[in-house]
Structures are given as structure tokens and as C-alpha cells.
Amino acid sequence: MAGTGKSIGIPLPTRALQTREVVRQTAVKARVTARHANQIQLSVSAKTSSFRPLSSADQAMFAARTEALEGTADGGQVMIDVLHDRVFRVRYREEHSTPPKESGLTVGEFGGPTRCDWDVGNERAIATTTAGTLVLHLDPWRWEWRSPDGAVACGAAGEEKNYFNQWDAYGLGLSHRLADGRPIATECFDLRPDEAIFGFGERFIRLNKVGQSIDVDMSDTKGVTTDRAYK
């Protein structure tokens, strides 16, 4: 199910993500720049790309997957605060933007974790609390929250699962709409079939569904993702 993507006759800006009418910017690797007791800061390198439609009907599809235009961007800064044993906050800003205001960005106040032990290396940075482990993979950039037994409870970012780079997901970054250059912030979360994410500020009533969009995609045997279809 998908909404009309319009609000009082004005296209919803995020519709450009579905139509691929953006210059996509995605964080691809990170470098630790500072670490404190309950906080770590990282400098992020980003990749920009334009969309190139690809179909399994293309005779040279394996060669065509490399023909999309790609470049590099200044990236930005990622700041992660461990607020509690099982609560952490991830903030991202562009390299030259104004630093974020001092805001909790959370519901309620947290007194900090019972303990937070850091293990920072060249490939990953790990924060361990009494409730689990936050693993920050640096190259490629990705974070995971693991339970005490090592099972991945949730995660975000990482490489595309679509082998042909058909933008089945938008990772951490600020993409820009082709029509007017308007920035659109994105992030990609891991979800199991019975899981959902709440708390992005959406409010729906019976007749107003602005901002609500559920997109269903299909993937063929070679990994090409397309909009849903009926046969």
C-alpha cells in the first residue's frame, strides 16, 4: 500500500526517493576522531551516485551494474552517545553544517549506563554495557546492537543487499532532490518480518495519511529489485 505522495496538491519531497530522482549520498566508511566515557565521535566518508535503471532483460547486465555515475562527498560527523545500558543516540551532521543544538532528542532523561567499556580498533569500535554490545563497523560503515549472547538485535546501514546496486535501500546520508537540490535525510534499518519502527514524528488520522508510505518491492533471481507487480 502506498499513499498518493501529495499534500494539498504539493508532491511530498520524499517521493523522490521512490522515483530515484535524487543524487544519493551514502556514508561508506568512518574513522574515530574522539572518544569519551559514554560518547564516541567519527568522521564519515560518503559516496554519491546517480540512478541507472537496470533489468534482468539486459544482455550485459553484469557489466552494466558498474556504469552508474558515482563520486565522493565531504561526508560528515557521526556522534554516538550511550545514554543507558540499552539506549544509545546516533546523531549525524554534514561536515560544514551547524553543529546540532544541545537537545536530548529522547523521551525522558537518562542517567547514563551502569558501565560502558570501549574497545577501539582499526576495523571496528565496540561499546559494551551490562545489557549488550554496540558494534560500530568502520569500513564499510555499519552499526549493530548485540545481546549479551552475541545475537544481532538490530542494526543500520551497511552495503546494499542488491548485487546490481538498484537502490533497494538508502543508507545514512543526505541525498539531494534533482528538481531543486532539496536535502532529504535517510537511514536504513534492519527489520525482521514481524518488526516495526516507531517514533519518527508521524501522526495519522482517519482521512489524513500524509507521510505514510508502505512500499512493496519484488526481487528476481538475479537480485534486481523492482516495484511490485501482479501477474
pLDDT at 42 over 70: yes
C-alpha 197 chain-centroid distance? 13
pLDDT in tens, 98-148: 566 566 677 778 889 999 999 999 999 999 999 999 999 999 999 999 999
141-169 per-position pLDDT tens digit: 999 999 999 999 989 988 777 666 778 78
Residue 81 has pLDDT above 80, yes or no: yes
Instruction: Name residues whose C-beta falls within 8 Å of residue 179's C-beta, 6 or more positions apart in sequence.
Output: 16, 21
Q: Could you give the domains of the chain?
A: 6-227 (2.60.40)
Distances (CA, A) of 221 to 41, 171, 218, 225: 40, 23, 10, 10
Backbone angles phi and psi of 63, in degrees to 5: -80, -35
Highest mean pLDDT among 12-26, 84-98, 119-133, 214-228 belongs to 119-133
- Residue by residue, DSSP assigns 148-188 as TTS-EEEEEE-S-S-TT---S---SEEEEETTT--EEEE--
Average model confidence (pLDDT) across the chain: 79
Cell matching residue 155? 542494526
Q: Is 208 helix (H, G, I), strand (E, B) or coil?
A: coil
CA-based end-to-end distance of the chain: 17
